[in-house]
Amino acid sequence: DRETGMKNCVDALKKITPVAEKAGVTLQMELLNSKVDHADYMCDNSTWGVELVKRVGSDNFKLLYDIYHMQIMEGDIIRTIQNNHQYFGHYHTAGNPGRHELDNNQELLYPPIAKAIADTGYDGYFAHEFLPVRDPIAGLRDAVAQCIV
């Protein structure tokens, strides 16, 4: 069940976060979808993931907020980022449906998402994790252009 899974994750992470703290490393648990790509994955929504971060209680443990996966699981991407950004350490992009380029064939509009992330003070990189259906370099170029604020 989800509470036992939470307890097991917290117990394991509390054993390894002191090592990360000493090394100056931030561990990340990626939020993935369990509807399409990762059946039975427990860290499949922001609420569960944020609770995990709170229970671990280390500044060196955060969530990797994968926008593609969270669009599938819960939508409401911008509000979720605004309300929970302090628990997110990194961001992944991809179009949905299909996990393809950030273009007009998918339901996510990345310029306002990137702006919302920048408005939180985040100044790190995005990882563009799409599966190209056209020229990959052109797709990457377009993705980068959409996410520069």
Beta strands in 36-113 (DSSP E): 61-66, 88-93
Residue 81 is predicted with a pLDDT of 98
Q: How far apart are CA 33 and CA 145, in angstroms?
A: 26
**H-helix or E-strand containing 8?**
helix 2-23
Residue-range domain boundaries for the chain: 2-147
What pLDDT band is residue 90 in, cutting at 50, 70 and 90?
A: very high
pLDDT tens column, 28-37: 999 999 999 9
- Active-site residues, by number, are 30, 129
Contact 130, 94 (CB under 8 A): yes
Output the CATH code of domain 2-147: 3.20.20.150
Contact 61, 13 (CB under 8 A): yes
pLDDT tens column, 5-32: 999 999 999 999 999 999 999 999 999 9
pLDDT tens column, 58-70: 999 999 999 999 9
